[in-house]
Amino acid sequence: MKVVFSDSSAKKASKRRTLISYSISLVLTFAPCYQPVWAGTDNQSGTAGTAGATGALGNPGIAGGNGAVGGDATANSSTTNTDASNTANANGGGGGRGGNGGQGSPTNSNGGNGGDGAKAGDASATADITIATGNGSATATANTGTGGAGGAGGYAAGTGAPGDGGDAGDGGDTIASAQVVNSGSGAATVNATANGGNGGAGGAIGSGAGTGGAPTAGNAGNGGAAILGAVSGSSASGGVVTVNGTARGGSGGSATGTGNAGDGGVVTFTAATTVQRVRRAHH
């Protein structure tokens, strides 16, 4: 029996190879013209500081423990020709409060002093984009917690002296930086926000009718600084450029009696905010 092989399969395979080759060629040729649609996001949070232990009663009462410092947070979302929108959010942890002083026992014993509150963690957020096609946006936000409050002094009765209040911790410092460099004709949108943490409240003197000594209240914490780092946007060929930067220093904490209130946080611009839009030449 004679078997005859047709060359139609070979022709079809040849056509398929041609089609595949052509399709790949198209993708390689036109892919760079597509607008990047991905978004990069980095969210980071520092842990809150733990509170100090409460002092035990005694003669005198045991002082309260100091709070632990809040954790720092650093977020960074920076890319080149891959993302159309990058966002970085950093949130520092709040400072731990001081523990209350222990009660003076028996009567006529002094109360323990309150523990000191701790500083809140710092926060740094950076969002950068370099893009050649389409629109680009970068948003960086840095927030942080409040400083730990000072612990209250311990109770005293009779001739015992109430405990002193503990000092409070400062609010955390923040810095935000955001930049978009658009080498094409698309828009560039930039937003950077830094909010310093508030200072903690100073601890009150111990309660009770103890008449001994001259107990003092704790001082309040200062507000944290807010810093705008490099904040800029540019479009090489006339795209719309929008740049927004906001910095708010933290509020100083409150205090009672002889304690001092905290100062507000400072605001700093470490680099000039720049906007650049270069229009195309008309022929």
Domain for residue 7, yes or no? no
> Is the pLDDT reported for residue 15 higher than 60?
no
Number of C-beta neighbours around residue 20 at 10 A: 10
2 part of a folded domain: no
- Summarize the confidence of residues 134-163 as an average pLDDT: 97
CA-based nearest residue to 190, from 150, 240, 143, 145: 240
Does residue 41 lie in a domain region? yes
- Assigned domain for 13 exists: no
pLDDT of the residue at 36: 57
- Mean pLDDT, to the nearest integer, of 43-58? 98
Q: Is position 79 within any domain? A: yes
Q: Is residue 229 part of a domain?
A: yes
110-122 average pLDDT score:
98
Domain range enclosing 121: 36-277
β-pairing verdict for 38-45 and 274-277: unpaired
Q: Number of structural domains, the chain?
A: 1
Q: How far apart are CA 142 and CA 265, in angstroms?
A: 15
Report yes or no on 21 lying in a domain: no
228 inside domain? yes
Q: What is the b/e burial string over 66-95, where b = at least 16 CB atoms within 10 angstroms of the residue's CB? A: bbbbbbbbbbbbbbeeebbbbbbbbbbbbb
pTM metric for this prediction = 0.83
